[in-house]
Structure 1
C-alpha cells in the first residue's frame, strides 16, 4: 500500500531565503528531531542541491537501531520545488516533494511525502502502530523549529 503525508506551513520570509535554507542539505539535521540522531555523511561543501545529487545519512529511527539512508535529488525547479527520492533505505518507496509558493508577506511551503513500507501485512501493521506517527512527529518537530527560525521581524 502507498501512503501519503501532506503538510504546509507559512514562513514569514522571502522566497530566496526560504529556498537557500531548504536547498542546503546541511540544514536537514537542524530541523530533524534530536532523538533520531540524524547525521549527513556526504561531504556537501555548501553546495545547493541539484538533480542527480546523492546524499547519504545515518539515523536511528526506531529503538536506537542505526540505519543508513541515501536520497537522490530527482527534480529541481529553483525557487519553486524539489523532490528527493530514497535510493537506499528502509522504504520500498520514499518521495518527498517540497514546494515553495510566494505569498503576501512570506512563503507557503508545502511538503508531500509518498511512501511505501516493505514486508506486506507486517509493514502495514507497523505503519498503523508506529510509522505513521513517527512521520507526523518528524514534521511536527520541523514545524516548531521553523516557527522559531523564521520569525517575523
Structure 2
C-alpha cells in the first residue's frame, strides 16, 4: 500500500468509536462500516462519525455475503471479553484459512500508561502472509517487530 492510499476498514464491536479514532490519528484510514448491537453506544458512535455506515446488529447475524459487499481491507475490532468470542473468531479464521497471530501485551510496553494486560489479534487474508514468523502460541512480547 502506498502512503497516500487509505485503508478501507470494517469495524466490528465498534462501541463508541474509540478504536476508529485511534486508527485515523495514526494511519490514513476510513471505516466503510461499523457493526455493533448496543443502541446507546451506536448513538454516540453516530455522533462521533456521522458519515460512517452503522449496522446495528451482531456479527453472528451477518452472512459472508454481507461482509463481501462492504469492500474492506482490514477488520478493526474490540470484542467483548467473554471467552466464546475468541474461540468463535479463531474457528472462523481457521475455516477461511487466514494467517493470524495472537498477542497478550500490556499497553505500558507500547508507551501507554495502563498496565492492564490486553489481547490483540492480527489476521491476514490469503494469499498474503506476515513479514514475521507466526506461532500457534500466544505471544507475550513484540520482539517479532
> TM over 0.5: same fold?
no
Higher share of residues assigned strand:
1
Structure number with greater CO (CA < 8 Å, separation at least 6) is: 1
